[in-house]
Structure 1
């Protein structure tokens, strides 16, 4: 099973990296948004309880945006493999279906982490200089969010028959989840009703965990009242539940 997981992981990484347009597009979009929104709203948005610039506040959210899109859209290969017959060939191989799930999730998480690290290199330019501990927390947060959404993307791709349907469903899901995660505007400044929605959003906790890492432990996170431990527990729990759901979905017949 280990050999099958590693083979699928390698295939997912190679397919994505060789598609240069997709690779560059997923990387360029968050950076472009960061520059446009960061400079455009810098004088209009303030972070409660902090003198951090909006560019500094927005960077962790842009990293999460790259992670979400990379993780989700890496699983388009599941739909494409069904259409080409590759998925059916993998299913008749003498390997458990869990190997397919783990291979795809591992591949998508690896790609998401790669994009997160590349965008994270911009952190020193806005005054964010996390130490070793903070860097490990930030990388762990990005990896957990990547695993969560790769697994969710896998589950949706397993059920959907066309890439058009996959794009439509994912676009409806991804943007609201990201906007309501505290990535774009502070949690502490949101209206009460909206704040409860944001607290129920698992991505909010992933963004908060990433902020803790980038701001440098044990510093507080501007714009939020969430603690490090609760955010870590929710983020880990979300990743585990998503992988379990993907594994259960993979037991369904493929049409």
Structure 2
């Protein structure tokens, strides 16, 4: 596929800004509203913000690494960008929608491409009841927190919390505890991607909890519901030799 109008977006660091100037001199820079593809220059955090800010554009995204890890990004090069875009492979990401009810009675929604995580706000462990599709599965989880991660996010915070790495094509989500105290031996679960997860905060006055969906934090929540957002599909482009499915698979064999 040919992409005639390319919009370049760059992080504020010097490396990303230098790369932006080089690409603009070579290819110009189309307005985001008119672009056929959005190219992000930075690290994984910048790419995540770019996906969030422009997810309603319904165009593919292609990232080039001018940050650190670069898991969601391709190698940077000025040359032959149209050809690289033309032969790139598409990974379709399905984000999560979080609905959080606060102690004050207000409700807030947010989208998570990587994960929705619940975290204790004070020195005391959180107490959380977990229901899956209306059925209580854990009456009381005593923990520092708990998260629901997508396959794309399974190699991020989820992996740091000893959660499983999920291939994109697996069709599952990871339910992963963070420093669980009781049940002590519970290490989490794999859930079908179409499930409805509900977290209820027990003893929320004494043990307050915040909910974080990627870039959005909601403090002092009492109930959090999570489900896949079927109305949102994000198309992210990867060079064939560095496609996202292969990267996720490869992560399982890194010592």
Q: Same fold (TM over 0.5)?
A: no
Higher relative contact order (CA 8 A, sep 6+): 1
Q: TM-score, normalised by structure 2?
A: 0.26
Normalized per residue, the structure richer in helix is 1
TM-score by length of 1: 0.26
Between Structure 1 and Structure 2, whose CA radius of gyration is higher?
2
Higher strand share: 2
